[in-house]
Structure 1
Amino acid sequence: MAQQRILLATDPRWRVERVRSHETAPQWSPVYTAPSGRLVLPFDAAAMEFRGDDGPGAWIDALTALRVAPAQRYQLRPQAREPRCSVVVSAADGVADAPWTGEPAQRLLSPRALYRLRLHWRRLEAGLDGVDATARLIAEALAAGGSAHSEGAVGRARRCLAAEAVDGRVLSLHELAEAASSSPFHLARSFRRRTGLSPHQYRLHLRLAAALAQLDAGERDLAGLAHALGFCSQSHLGALFLREVGVTPGEARRALHAA
């Protein structure tokens, strides 16, 4: 899987890079080996599967942070034939006090945390923030995040919700439960217990993550953005964005492009 790496910042402890995987067929990549411990953070709305040689795999979507252990061997498989971009924070050799030490291998990030991280990546690339802020923001985001379960009915439901952005279909709870091989009641209860969100809230968070990616890319047509992401109106997007992110979409775009 061909990749383009852009160095955002580095110091004796951390290396922060934006990694873009080029468009490729949805098949498993060659086996990679992580030279050091690293955290993979979402930067766009594309989803991908991860599997290592030492445990169960993981589903990485626009809300998921993934911890990769030093020397871990792993493979990746994209959900669809499209590029994917992530931010990778790697620990230097011998660094043991990583901000994600002791965290679960997978963690869900809130839209508010994703926005704060995006602002930081912008400021880091411009030389306005230091890498110390990277460690602090990551620690805060992981501590406040929910669990990202990739197995069982919840994992299957997460895959279906991410696929909605690709095929344009919005599943009802009954359809989602059927696709996840579960009953609606059991899925709704298990999903909230595992992730801290209802399936519908999870869907909305995925849409907000996609909105953040588009705003970061310079999108100015908020009405068109709302329609493309499945919101009933621009005001609906704006109200939800303000509640979950803490600023309006216009304010987020201006802040991201002022950094």
Structure 2
Amino acid sequence: MAQQRILLVADPRWRVERVRSHATAPQWSPVYTAPSGRLVLPFDAAAMEFRGDDGHGAWIDALTALRVAPAQRYQLRPQAREPRCSVVVSATDGVADAPWTGDGAQRLLSPRALYRLRLHWRRLEAGLDAVEATPQLIAEALAAGGTAHSEGAVGRARRCLAAEAVDGRALSLHELAEAASSSPFHLARSFRRRTGLSPHQYRLHLRLAAALAQLDAGERDLAGLAHALGFCSQSHLGALFLREVGMTPGEARRALHAA
């Protein structure tokens, strides 16, 4: 899978890179090997499957952080033929006290955590933040999030919710349950138990993650952005953004571009 890597910062303990994978067909990649412990953090709305040679699998969407263990062999399969951008934090050999080392694990990131990390990446690249702040920000983001469950009905529902952005339609709970081979009642209950969110809340968090990516890219048409993401109005997007991120979309864009 062809990639473009931009080094944001490096020190003797770890390195932070923004990695852009070029658009490829939705098929399994060759087998890769992680030379050290690393954490893969979302940077855009593209999604993909992760498959380890130990049988461990994961669904990686715009809310999912994936921790990869040292020497882990794995493959990737994109959801659609589109480029994907991630931030990869890699530990230097022998570093064992960083929050991304250890066994592989998946965690969900809240919209607020995604915003704080985006702002940090920008400030790192501009030389305004110290790399010493990175572990604490990552640890807080991982601790505050739920489990990114990828198996069974919940995993199938997460894949369907991510596909909504590609398909351009929102499934009802009954349609989502049918697609996930579950009943509406069982899916709603198990989804919240596994992720800490209802399916609709998860959908809204995915939309906010996409909004953050667009604002970071310089989007200024908030009404058009709200419509493109499936919100009924700009005010609906603004109210949800304020509640979940702690500021308005315009304030977030200005802060990101001031860094």
Q: Distance in 2 between matches of 1:235 and 1:104?
A: 39
Is 1:198 matched up with 2:189? no
Q: In structure 2, do the counterparts of structure 1 residues 75 and 104 end up closer, same or farther at CA, with 3 Å as the change threshold?
A: closer
Mapped contact 2:37–2:100 kept (Cα < 8 A): no
Q: What are the superposed Cα offsets for residues 190-212 of structure 1, whole Å, 9 maximum, x if unpaired?
A: 00000000000000000000000
Does the aligned pair in 1 maintain the 2:112–2:246 contact within 8 Å?
yes
Structure 2 CA distance, aligned partners of 1:129 and 1:55? 38
Calculate the TM-score normalised by the size of structure 1.
0.99
Question: 2: CA distance between counterparts of 1:246 and 1:173?
Answer: 28
Check whether the contact 1:38–1:69 (CA below 8 A) recurs between aligned residues. Answer: yes
Cα displacement (A) at 1:99: 1.6
Contact 2:37–2:102 (Cα < 8 Å) also in 1: no
1:55-91 Cα offsets, whole Å, 9 max, x none, are 3210000000000000100000000000000000000
2:142 aligned with 1:145? no
| Percent pairwise identity | 95
* Contact 1:14–1:131 (Cα < 8 Å) also in 2: no
Pairwise CA distance, 1:130: 1.3
Q: Structure 1: how far apart are the matches of 2:103 and 2:24?
A: 31
Cα distance, 1:132 vs structure 2: 1.1
Runs of 4+ with deviation above 2 angstroms: 100-104
Structure 1 residues 195 and 103: CA distance shift in structure 2, 3 A: farther
User: Could you say what secondary structure the match of 1:17 adopts?
Assistant: strand
The 1-side partners of 2:78 and 2:102 are apart by 27
* Structure 1 unaligned residues grouped into runs of 5+: none
The answer to which of 98-107 and 186-195 deviates more is: 98-107
| Structure-1 separation of matches of 2:99 and 2:26 | 32
1:174-193 residue CA offsets vs partner (Å, 9 max, x unmatched): 00000000000000000000
Q: Report the Cα offset of residue 100 of structure 1.
A: 3.1
Q: Give the conservation status (yes or no) of the 8 Å contact 2:38–2:101.
A: no
Gap regions ≥5 residues in structure 2: none
Q: Specify whether residues 19 and 116 from structure 1 end up closer, same or farther in structure 2 by C-alpha distance, changes over 3 A only.
A: same
8 Å CA contact 1:31, 1:75 repeated in 2: yes
Deviation at 1:102, TM superposition (A): 5.8
Please give the alpha-carbon distance, in whole angstroms, between the structure 2 residues aligned to 1:212 and 1:202. Answer: 15
CA contact (8 A) 2:64 2:148 kept: yes
Q: 1:94 to 1:102 in 2, by over 3 A?
A: closer
Give, in angstroms, the shift of residue 131 of structure 1.
1.2
1:229 aligns with 2:229: yes
1:154 and 2:149 are equivalent in the alignment: no
More moved, 161-170 vs 92-101? 92-101
1:120–1:136 CA distance, 2 compared to 1 (3 A): same
Contact 2:49 2:77 (C-alpha < 8 Å) held by counterparts: yes
What corresponds to 1:73 in structure 2?
73
Any conservation in 1 of the 2:177–2:184 contact (CA below 8 Å)?
yes
Q: In 1, are the aligned partners of 2:91 and 2:101 still within 8 Å (CA)? A: no
Specify the SS of the correspondent of 1:7. Answer: strand
Give the superposition deviation at 1:104. Answer: 6.3
- TM-score normalised to the size of structure 2? 0.99
Does the 8 A contact of 1:100 with 1:142 survive in 2?
Answer: no
Q: Are the equivalent residues in 2 in contact too, given 1:40–1:89 (CA < 8 A)?
A: yes
Deviates more, 1:131-140 or 1:100-109: 100-109
Alpha-carbon distance in 2 for matches of 1:96, 1:109: 23
Residue by residue over 1:19-58, the C-alpha shift from the partner in whole angstroms, topping out at 9 and shown as x without a partner, is 0000111111110000000000000000000000113210
Corresponding residue number in structure 1 for 2:133:
133
* 1:103–1:142 CA contact under 8 A, matched in 2: no
Asked if the contact 1:91/1:98 (under 8 Å) is kept, the reply is yes
Q: Is the 1:7–1:16 Cα contact (8 Å) retained in structure 2?
A: yes
Q: Is the contact made by 1:107 and 1:147 (CA closer than 8 Å) also made in structure 2?
A: yes
Counting only pairs closer than 5 Å after superposition, residues 107-118 of structure 1 correspond to structure 2 as 107-118=107-118
Deviation at residue 103 of structure 1 after TM alignment: 7.6
Q: Distance in 2 between matches of 1:27 and 1:88?
A: 22
Q: CA deviation at 1:98?
A: 1.3
Secondary structure of 1:148's counterpart equals coil
